[in-house]
């Protein structure tokens, strides 16, 4: 049986590579003991702000066997989204992850294909794909399976390619060979903490989500608090500051996923273009983009706040 575990694990990792994933790691599907008190504390401190959904399904967030019957393994995958070109310097800014098509759909398709290939090759395997869409602690699972460590900005970091990638999982009822967690390489560096415009990184490894620019520009449905005036650094959808300043992101390489390429119009838009954006332009430039989450009204609110 051990040989099968090894054989299946190698096969799955090779398939993940074929589908364009940056890396693939596997861990045992079990209760996340270390994460439980951390998550509880984070919620008790109200670091989730208006994101009340974070309070739901506490047990499921920590235990994948409650999401998939007889779950044995969590297959964690990274998909690079680092762009070859970025927006013009005279532009309001959106997070690099939102340049191209909505990652939920792009990755779901790849995961579906991976699961089908596993079922074809290995036999009757049940599983579920997760892309930031269910109560799964993506970063914790990726770290557990050796794909990187969780940095002081609470993002998953790797020495090889930094942190500009999406994390997804397949939870399956198949015994596999498990990987080991890697070590932390943040050292004494505090670049992310020092650079955060809203001081959302309240202590190393702890981010107050309710102070984060991504939260204000995407999650918060009410008005952005006035005390954030002058601190938003021209971001109107998400924020990349703590990643942009991370030394490990010197090693970021451009992705090769055509669906993540931005609409050329996005890269040439100036502040004036953003301020005059119409429903038609919005629909055209962000046709299948994650930016649609905030809707045109949300973008206009964010732009107005910055002016």
Q: Which residues are catalytic?
A: 132
What are 137's strand-pairing partners? none
Handedness of CA 94, 99, 102, 107 (dihedral sign): negative
Q: Which two tokens stand for residue 174?
A: 């198949």
In angstroms, the CA 1 to CA 276 distance is: 63
Q: Which two tokens stand for residue 81?
A: 């989204």
As a dihedral over the C-alpha atoms of residue 169, residue 174, residue 180, residue 184, rounded to 10 degrees, the angle is 10
In angstroms, the CA 171 to CA 189 distance is: 34
CA 66 centroid distance within chain: 22
Q: What are phi and psi of 7, to 5 degrees?
A: -65, -45
3-state secondary structure of 164: coil
- Continuous H helices in 165-285: 191-195, 213-214, 241-244, 264-268, 271-275, 279-285
In angstroms, the CA 79 to CA 19 distance is: 10
Among candidate residues 67, 244, 191, the one with its CA nearest the CA of residue 141: 67
User: Which H or E run includes 237?
Assistant: strand 235-237
In angstroms, the CA 64 to CA 52 distance is: 21
User: Which H or E run includes 129?
Assistant: strand 127-130
């Amino acid at each position: 049986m051990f040989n099968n575990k090894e054989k299946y694990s190698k096969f799955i990792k090779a398939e993940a590579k074929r589908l364009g994933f940056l890396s693939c790691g596997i861990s045992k599907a079990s209760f996340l003991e270390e994460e439980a008190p951390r998550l509880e504390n984070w919620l008790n401190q109200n670091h989730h702000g208006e994101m009340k959904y974070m309070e739901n399904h506490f047990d499921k967030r920590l235990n994948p066997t409650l999401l998939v019957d007889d779950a044995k393994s969590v297959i964690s995958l990274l998909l690079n989204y680092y762009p070859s070109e970025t927006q013009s310097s005279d532009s309001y800014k959106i997070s690099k992850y939102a340049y191209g098509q909505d990652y939920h759909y792009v990755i779901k398709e790849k995961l579906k294909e991976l699961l089908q290939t596993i079922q074809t090759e290995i036999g009757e395997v049940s599983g579920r794909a997760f892309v930031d869409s269910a109560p799964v602690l993506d970063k914790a699972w990726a770290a557990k399976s050796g794909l990187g460590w969780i940095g002081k900005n609470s993002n998953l970091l790797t020495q090889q390619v930094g942190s500009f990638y999406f994390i997804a999982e397949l939870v399956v009822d198949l015994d596999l060979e498990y990987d080991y967690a890697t070590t932390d390489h943040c050292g004494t560096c505090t670049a992310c903490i020092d650079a955060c415009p809203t001081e959302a990184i309240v202590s190393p490894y702890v981010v107050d989500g309710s102070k984060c620019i991504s939260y204000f520009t995407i999650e918060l449905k009410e008005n952005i608090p006035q005390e954030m005036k002058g601190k938003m650094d021209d971001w109107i959808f998400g924020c990349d500051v703590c990643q942009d300043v991370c030394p490990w992101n010197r090693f970021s390489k451009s992705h090769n996923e055509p669906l993540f390429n931005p609409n050329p119009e996005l890269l040439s838009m100036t502040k004036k273009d953003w301020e005059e954006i119409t429903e038609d332009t919005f629909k055209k430039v962000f046709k299948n983009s994650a930016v649609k989450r905030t809707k045109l009204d949300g973008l206009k609110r964010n732009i107005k706040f910055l002016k």
